Amino acid sequence: MADALLPTRAELTDRNGVTLARAFPAYALWYNPVALEDGGSPLVKSPQAVAQELAAIFPDLDPAVLSRQLASRKAGYIRRRVLPEDANKVQAIGELALELPRESDRHYPQGRLAAHVLGYVTDGEGHVGMEAVLDERLTDPAQRDQPVALSIDARVQGALEDELGRGMRLVNAVGAAGIVLDVDTGEVMAMASLPAFDPNRMDAEEHKLVFNKVTNQVYELGSTFKPLTVAAAIDAGLIPDISRQWQASRPLVMGRFRIRDLKPIGASLNAAQTLASSSNIVTAQIADELGPARMKQTMAELGFNERPYIELPARGFPIWPSGEWPRLRAMTISYGHGVAVTPLHLASAYATMVNGGIWRPATLRKVEPGQAPRGRRVFKESTSQRMNQLVRMISLYGTGRTADAPGFRVGGKTGSAEKPGDGGYQRTTLVSTFASAFPMDDPRFVIIIMYDEPKGTAASSYQRTAAWNAAPTVGRLVPRIGPLLGVYPDEGREVDLSDVDHLIKGARK
């Protein structure tokens, strides 16, 4: 008897106890053509008349399709979820063949919110998201009365989806992905893949939207790799003097391949100017000095050679060149061409770069204080401190200026990469990404925003690159979520740039 009083499936909540998924008793609408025992017609009225009455209660039903189902005399569901008030209306039709069995249903009170995190349930079985991952735990009779807390914050999730959706519409992108990650624990505070599905109504159209662009789709993420390359070089001792210059006026010629910048930047650049102006030429030279073996090792230590670490079952395998990397490959990978990873890979890498150099796996389970995994060291703490200065400078002086939210000390790097296709890279289609963190004087959270095939519109000044779409989204999002996460604006605070600020002077703004 006690077991009968338990929910059939435990609740899922956000980190603050907000219900995201719960089980509740519901009605289904079942057609039973043998309900009348006399062997005659299963319906008192005609199938067409009954179909019209049902369609009046449930407007999304097609009367013609329903009429054929009723006329076929085959038993089956007409509808899996029926509200009590609608069940009363069905009973009022007066047809015994329309049965209303009580069934347990899964309800998502926040609708599409965090759909790709949660997944969905059909016939008592979890699919796609944490419903699938935690299926055994959620259905365990000994634990069904105990909610499971996820890492996400429903308020932050809502803000991310709102700003990501707004940005996607403004530039007519075909899709978008976003993630907010705690840099010290690996907790995912929010994750969104758009367009999203509605777990409350999983029809054929909704099933088309279950693919998770954050964890399962790999992309070449372009210039967002450049800070990671510079960090690897600093860590290896190749840039002991941050004011060191490299030539930037001539393309690099490697056989028939030429590495060039979109437009001339200057005769020579230091590391700070290279990142602020996003120079392929100088980044490739830095990678060449680092060497293919060290470049490959660093990328592997950041997890770019394997599926991203997170509980979700759908995790994309990177496009990762095997064997020894030739010189040219290491140079092109340094600016984000030749390796394809998920946005989650990038989020974990940036968290490593800004948190003192420790890589930790991402998680969708709430982490209790003091229980974060130890992780593994990738960069020296001094390297991380230097990179925090440099990525902050990008938002002050470089391509990331549109992400700079006053008082929040945002830092980050734009990346706009042509999508590969038949015959090579497609100049007309971009993946535009902004990889960021805040506040850079004491980094707490990483944000990745990515738009798939954004168009140049009036809202983006007819530009398609990340500085005009993904970066402004971060600039709008941070003031919304910062206070929710305990980070408040303080225009009296700033990253200490006293030993590097002069290095940016002379870079193109």
Is residue 223 flagged as an active site residue? yes
- Which residues make Cβ contacts (< 8 Å) with residue 37, sequence separation at least 6? none
The count of residues in the chain is: 509
Q: What is the CA radius of gyration of the chain?
A: 27
Task: Count CB neighbours of 94 within 10 A.
Answer: 11
- Which residues make Cβ contacts (< 8 Å) with residue 264, sequence separation at least 6? 249
φ, ψ dihedrals at 67, nearest 5°: -60, -40
Sign of torsion over alpha carbons 323, 326, 330, 336: negative
Q: How far is CA 485 from CA 130, 155, 347, 505, in A?
A: 23, 10, 18, 34
Q: Are strands 102-107 and 125-127 parallel, antiparallel or unpaired?
A: unpaired
Q: How far is CA 466 from CA 40, 214, 230, 235, 404, in A?
A: 68, 17, 20, 28, 14
Residues 221 and 431 sit within 8 Å (Cβ to Cβ): yes
- Catalytic residue from among 223, 278, 436, 460: 223
Q: How far is CA 259 from CA 127, 283, 285, 334, 454, in A?
A: 45, 10, 10, 12, 25
Say how far apart CA 232 and CA 239 lie, in whole Å. 10
Supply the residues annotated as catalytic: 223
